[in-house]
């Protein structure tokens, strides 16, 4: 089960109101459900907040500005990535400059990542699902 702390909920709520231009532009497009995928903005998960998430594909999308390359931020980002990967998420990091230069390419990159994470067929549970009506053929014993 995925849950979040009250601190993460508060941070997510505050961040949704921020006017970060690359995130605003991405969200405007992701709200339209490109590729048929549903996205969440500033999604809290435990003690972290993911910029954008596609829960169906277990994809975390992070928009990284210049601050992500300064100080101890690269190490913190790496720790977050390990934390999210341990919970089944794949992380897609897009530089903010890339989003501003080519929004269409950024959206295409996100949709491609979703497609790659989406299995063609789900694995059945142990023993498989029960057969549908008419699928069971009784062997004739003579």
Domains of the chain: 18-117 (3.40.960.10)
Phi-psi region of 7 (alpha: psi -120 to 50; beta: other; left: phi over 0): alpha
Taken in order 115, 109, 67, 49, the sign of the CA dihedral is negative
Q: What is the pLDDT of residue 108?
A: 97
Q: For residue 2, what are the CA distances in angstroms to 16, 22, 89?
A: 20, 27, 11
Q: What is the pLDDT of residue 1?
A: 42
Q: What is the pLDDT of residue 2?
A: 55
* CA atoms lying within 13 Å on the CB side of residue 32: 8
List, in sequence order, every beta strand (DSSP E) within 33-138: 40-45, 48-54, 59-64, 90-95
Q: Which residue stretches of the chain have pLDDT < 50?
A: 1, 136-142
């Amino acid at each position: 089960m995925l849950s979040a702390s009250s601190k993460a909920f508060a941070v997510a709520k505050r961040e949704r109101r921020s006017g970060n231009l690359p995130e605003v532009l991405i969200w405007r497009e992701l709200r339209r459900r490109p590729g048929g995928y549903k996205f969440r903005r500033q999604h809290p998960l435990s003690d972290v907040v993911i910029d954008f998430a596609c829960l169906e594909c277990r994809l975390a999308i992070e928009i990284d500005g210049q601050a992500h390359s300064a100080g101890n931020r690269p190490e913190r980002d790496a720790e977050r990535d390990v934390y999210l990967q341990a919970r089944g998420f794949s992380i897609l990091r897009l530089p903010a400059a890339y989003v501003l230069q080519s929004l269409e390419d950024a959206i295409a990159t996100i949709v491609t990542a979703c497609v790659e994470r989406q299995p063609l067929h789900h694995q059945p549970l142990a023993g498989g699902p029960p057969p549908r009506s008419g699928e069971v053929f009784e062997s004739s014993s003579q």
